[in-house]
Structures are given as structure tokens and as C-alpha cells.
Amino acid sequence: MQVYFDNAATTAVDKNVLKKMLPYFTEKYGNPSSIHYLGQEALEAVDESKEIISKFLNCRAEEVFFTSSATESNNLAIKGVLEGLDFKPHIITSLIEHPSVIEVCKYLEKEGKAEVSYIKPNTEGIIGLESIKKEIKNNTVLISIMYANNEIGTIQDIKNIGSLIKELNIDRKNKILFHTDAVQAGAYLNCDIKELGVDLLTLSGHKIYGPKGVSVLFIKEGIKIKPIIYGGGQEMGLRSGTYNIPSIVGMGAAIEEIKKNKDKIEDIKKLRDYLIKEIEKNIPLVSLNGSREQRLPNNINFNFKGVEGESVVISLNQEGIMASSGSACASKKLKASGVLLAIGIRQEEAHGSLRISLGRETTKKEIDYFLKVLPNIIKRLRAISGFK
Amino acid sequence: MKSYYSKEALEHFLNPKNMGVIENPDAIGKVGNPICGDQMEIYIKVEKKDGQEIIKDIKFKTLGCAAAIATSDMICELAKGKTLEEAVGIKYQDIVNGLGDLPPVKIHCSFLANNGLKEAVKDYHERNGKK
């Protein structure tokens, strides 16, 4: 049995999405910058995709920008709004952001281009309003807080943070912009930018059953932002580079599918809760990482005492189950997950983490198979480590 | 199919023959990996025969990744039946070769296993009044 429990890493492309993409490889292959028929046909596809996405975000189509990846979108959102300021700006972000936010901030800090405050979440992984408020300075220009965390699935109260910023901005000379990385949230949560009160929002194609190599950055009209890539002037000069039409079409189609699959979210949540309950019942000395309530419907993240996460992942893989771990050994950098450390988990314990991320196609049968296999793996690895 | 670990490394991870502890061991080598936090303990039983000190039995206890477990099992396999002098001469590359290969980021696990054995031999000498 092959079971894919790593949907937070990437999802399969939905079959309906793929179908809509295919003609744009071999038949409708024009470059939207060309003024002839094939070019204009491709341009129309870009516009249609923007139209669909703008409805999903409740924004205008002109506020939707395509980039190559969520990493690029996050880089553009942060670097782009800082360019051209005549003072040293201050950014507020959190310790549990994706590397495509944290690493940009670290770079800007190192280069002396910005001051940065990294907010520590509470032990549930929630970033409190008060902790944001405390960090605000006169030169604060950007707050970037992710909507839902990729490792522990914690959902932040973006709406309340948005309201707070709006309130603060009334009396401020330097208005604060609010960016949220909604990559993990896209398939599951409300992304209405007006309700959330965000100025910038990042979505990724391949986390929402669309293709890889495409991302959306919503940029509210009127925001001063400079490009980070220069060239042919596509996307109103903000993102040069030939449009990746098949993927852009796929991005729109994936957004359409989210609507159609809304009913499945409740089912995924039930499967998640069943899995959590059974693991807590059947395996001793486990603890759930991240909030139980404010959590993505598809995310499960456990710590198992006396085992190391990478060896759990490898053992599961032998049984056909694909999952991931935040342990140092499972990472390229051989560092324990910064997210787990930020929620107060000790280095030794972050070692024993396992992330299961369910998807639209997950069945109860798959979960039951996993529940049958996992206890023996933990038992075996605890025997090897001598853990009693 | 492409696999992160070699067939041999997986086999030693999934079916380690030398896991466990030795009751009343002649020496123990305890090592930890400062990089990723793995912990390893190597237990040895030494037999004196014809004026030589031979590792008669060797077992390990490891909290770590698949590579840490596989290298633990491999160092035990390589050291078993060898004299203490020969055992100390085992190189990390012998462990890696014994496992077919290891992913580049996992080579440091073989250092750990190698040091674990060396620590056990050192412990043996200390217990027996040698330097």
C-alpha cells in the first residue's frame, strides 16, 4: 500500500487542473507579450486566471501578480516594500515563518538595510496580539506573519492582527503594511483579503493541487513596491520574465477546485482528529505539537520520546508511508526545526518529531494502515535506543 | 527505485544484529553527536587468548537516525572477533564501505560509531589500569 502523508510538502496536481493546463504546452503556446493571435490567446489565459484568483481573494484582478514560487513572492513582498525608503525601516515577523521570510529578514538585517523583530509564539504556536503590539516602533513599515504554519499547522488570527494594524495606522506617519504567507492556508482557510485586512498575501500553486513553479502575490492597489527582478517589464514592470502560461492557467484552475472541494475539508478534519486520538491512545509518551484547536484540518505533528524522527520516516517509507520530520537528522542543514524550538520544545525532544499532512484523497483505510504500522516502528526504535 | 539509503544501510537499520546491551560488560563507550544530538553506547566483552585481547562480544544502544543505527551495527560487525588493537585501527571509511555508501550529510554518523568503539576500548584500558 502506498500512502502519501506529506501534502504540506507538495500536493499532486488535480486531474481537472492538469486537463486545463495541457493545451497551453503544445497548442496555445504563445507568448502573451506577442500581439498576434497565439500571443493574445495566451494573454487572455493570464487574465482569466487572474479573474478567478481575484474572486477567491475578493480583490481586483489588477492586484494579482504571478511569480515563480512562494519563495519569490515572499522575497518580493518584503524586499520590494523596503526599497527606496529614506530611513532604516523596521520589520516585525515571527520565529515560525517559512525560511523564505526569515532568511530574507536575516539578510536585510545583516546588510544593515533593516531592523527586524522576530516574535516568539506561545507554546501552542500562537502569536499573540500583545507581543506584536510591543514590538511596534516609529520606523515599523512591515509586519509579516504567516496564516498557517507548515510544520505544526497552527493557524494565526490574521483578522485580528489586520484590525490592530488598521487601528494603529490611523495615527501613524509611516503606515504599516501587513503581509501574510498563506501558502499552507490556501486550500483550507478563508483568504478574503478584505476580511483578513492584509495588504500583501502569498499563495503557492503546488500546495493547493496546482502545478509547481507558480505563485501568486496579492498586492493591494496603491502600495509602493519595487521589483526584485528586472527585464521585459511583465506584470506592470513588477515581475519581469516570460509568463509561465501552463502553470498560471493551472493556478487559476486549482483555485477553482478549492471551491468545489470545500465539502471535503470537514472530512479531512475528522480523519485528522481520529488519527490524533488513536495515536494518543495507543502509543505511550507522545505529545502533539501545536494548538489542538487553531490547527489546519490536514496537519498532525507529534513528538515521540526515545526515538529520532528521521528513523521513523525511513521506517514508515519501508512500509509505503510517506511522511516527514523536523528532526536535525532529517534536515539538510542538520539543525532541529526552528519552529519546534520556538514553541519551547527542547533540542533533544525536537529530535523525535513526525509530521503527517493529510490531503483530499486521504482515506480512513490509509489512516488505519498507518495506525497499525506506527506503534511497532516506535516500539522497535525505542528498543534500539534502550528507551524504557 | 531511487532510495535515500543504500540497500545495505537499510538492512542494517531495519535488522540490526548487534542491538542491545551486554550484561556486565568489560567496557562501555558512550558518545554523542554534537551536530545533530544522536546518542550511542557501545558495549564490549573482551576475551584474553594467547596473550591477545579479543572483542568476543559487542552490542550497541543508539538514539538516532537510520544512519546512526546502521553505522552502530556495522562497527559492531567489523569489530567483533578483532583484537583491541585491530579494532582501534578501523576507519570510518571502513564503516561507510561496509554499508555500501551513505548520503553525504550522513557521513558524520560513521565518525560517531567509530569514536564509540574507540571510547569503549579506552574505557577497557582505563578499567584495566592501562593508559
Interchain pair A314, B66: CB under 8 A: yes
- Kindly report the number of other CB atoms within 10 A of residue B57's CB atom: 16
**Residue-averaged pLDDT of chain A:** 96
Residue B131 in any domain: the answer is no
Residues A110 and A243 in one domain: yes
| All cell numbers assigned to A14 | 488535480
Interchain pair A385, B4: CB under 8 A: no
Interchain pair A385, B5: CB under 8 A: no
Put the strands of the sheet holding A353-357 in their side by side order. Answer: A286-288, A299-304, A353-357
Residues A324 and A235 in one domain: no
Catalytic residues of B: 36, 109
Residue B130 in any domain: the answer is no
Average pLDDT over residues B102-112: 93
Q: Which residues does chain B have within 8 Å of residue A319's beta carbon, measured at their own beta carbons?
A: none
Residues A251 and A337 in one domain: no
Does residue A39 sit at the B interface (CB-CB below 8 Å)?
no
Interchain pair A386, B41: CB under 8 A: yes
Band the pLDDT of B131: cuts 50, 70, 90: low
Examine the pLDDT at A333 and tell me if it is beyond 90.
no
| A229 contacts A242 by C-beta, under 8 angstroms | no
CATH of the domain at B31: 3.90.1010.10
A234 Cβ contact partners less than 8 Å away, ≥ 6 residues apart: A32, A33, A240, A241, A242, A243
Asked whether this complex has an ipTM greater than 0.85, the answer is: yes
Rounded Cα–Cα distance for residues B77 and B17 (Å): 8
Residues A270 and A370 in one domain: yes
Interchain pair A329, B5: CB under 8 A: no
Rounded Cα–Cα distance for residues A357 and A324 (Å): 9
Rounded Cα–Cα distance for residues B10 and A271 (Å): 31
Instruction: Say how many domains are in chain B.
Output: 1
Task: Report phi then psi at A56, rounded to 5.
Answer: -60, -40
CATH of the domain at A124: 3.40.640.10
Instruction: Express each pLDDT in A131-188 by its tens digit.
Output: 999 999 999 999 999 999 999 999 999 999 999 999 999 999 889 999 999 999 999 9
A309 Cβ contact partners less than 8 Å away, ≥ 6 residues apart: A325, A326, A327, A329, A330, A351, A352, A353, A354
| A26 contacts A228 by C-beta, under 8 angstroms | no
Residue B2 in any domain: the answer is no
Residue B104 in any domain: the answer is yes
3-state secondary structure of B117: helix
For residue A129, the model assigns a pLDDT of 96
Residues A25 and A133 in one domain: yes
**Burial, A170: exposed, middle or buried (Cβ in 10 Å; 0-12, 13-18, 19+)?**
exposed
Residues A114 and A130 in one domain: yes
| All cell numbers assigned to B128 | 584495566
Q: Which of B34, B21, B22, B98 is nearest to B67 (CA)?
A: B98
| A74 contacts A202 by C-beta, under 8 angstroms | yes
Residue of A2, A6, A304, A308 best to disrupt the B interface, most CBs of B under 10 A: A308
Residue A1 in any domain: the answer is no
Instruction: Express each pLDDT in A3-30 by its tens digit.
Output: 999 999 999 999 999 999 999 999 999 9
Does residue B66 sit at the A interface (CB-CB below 8 Å)?
yes
CA A69, A74, A78 angle in degrees (round to 5)?
150
Distance from CA of A6 to the nearest CA of B (A): 16
Average pLDDT over residues B7-33: 96
Band the pLDDT of B37: cuts 50, 70, 90: confident
Interchain pair B37, A336: CB under 8 A: yes
DSSP labels for A352-376?
TEEEEE--TT--HHHHHHHHHHHHH
A122 Cβ contact partners less than 8 Å away, ≥ 6 residues apart: A128, A343
For residue A367, what are the domain limits? 263-385
B109 Cβ contact partners less than 8 Å away, ≥ 6 residues apart: B33, B38, B64, B65, B67, B68, B70, B71, B102
Distance from CA of A328 to the nearest CA of B (A): 5
Per the listing, cell 501558502 goes with A183
- Kindly report the number of other CB atoms within 10 A of residue A319's CB atom: 17
Examine the pLDDT at A334 and tell me if it is beyond 80.
no
Instruction: Express each pLDDT in A47-94 by its tens digit.
Output: 999 999 999 999 999 999 999 999 999 999 999 999 989 999 999 999
Q: Which of B14, B2, B1 is nearest to B99 (CA)?
A: B14
Rounded Cα–Cα distance for residues A361 and A2 (Å): 12
CATH of the domain at A276: 3.90.1150.10
Instruction: Express each pLDDT in A358-387 by its tens digit.
Output: 999 999 999 999 999 999 999 999 999 999
Q: Which residues does chain A have within 8 Å of residue B5's beta carbon, measured at their own beta carbons?
A: 314
Residues A237 and A313 in one domain: no
Task: Report phi then psi at A27, rounded to 5.
Answer: -110, -50
Average pLDDT over residues A313-327: 95
Rg of chain B over Cα atoms, rounded to whole angstroms, equals 14
For residue B2, the model assigns a pLDDT of 82
Residue A111 in any domain: the answer is yes
Residues A242 and A308 in one domain: no
The distance of Cα A58 from the centroid of its chain, to the nearest Å, equals 19
The distance of Cα A169 from the centroid of its chain, to the nearest Å, equals 27
Q: Which of A127, B20, B75 is nearest to A117 (CA)?
A: A127
Residues A50 and A196 in one domain: yes
For residue B102, what are the domain limits? 7-125
Does residue A303 sit at the B interface (CB-CB below 8 Å)?
no
Which among A207, A226, A260 is the end of a domain?
Answer: A260
The distance of Cα A365 from the centroid of its chain, to the nearest Å, equals 28
Residue A9 in any domain: the answer is no
Rounded Cα–Cα distance for residues A182 and A223 (Å): 19
Rg of chain A over Cα atoms, rounded to whole angstroms, equals 22
Nearest to A332 among B4, B105, B108 (CB): B105
Rounded Cα–Cα distance for residues A55 and A58 (Å): 5
Instruction: Say how many domains are in chain A.
Output: 2
B87 Cβ contact partners less than 8 Å away, ≥ 6 residues apart: B55, B78, B79, B117, B121
Residues A235 and A270 in one domain: no
For residue B35, the model assigns a pLDDT of 65
The distance of Cα A377 from the centroid of its chain, to the nearest Å, equals 30
Residues A202 and A305 in one domain: no
A378 Cβ contact partners less than 8 Å away, ≥ 6 residues apart: A283, A304, A307, A312
Residues A296 and A187 in one domain: no
Residue of A303, A304, A311 best to disrupt the B interface, most CBs of B under 10 A: A311
Residue of B63, B73, B99, B109 best to disrupt the A interface, most CBs of A under 10 A: B63
Residue A10 in any domain: the answer is no
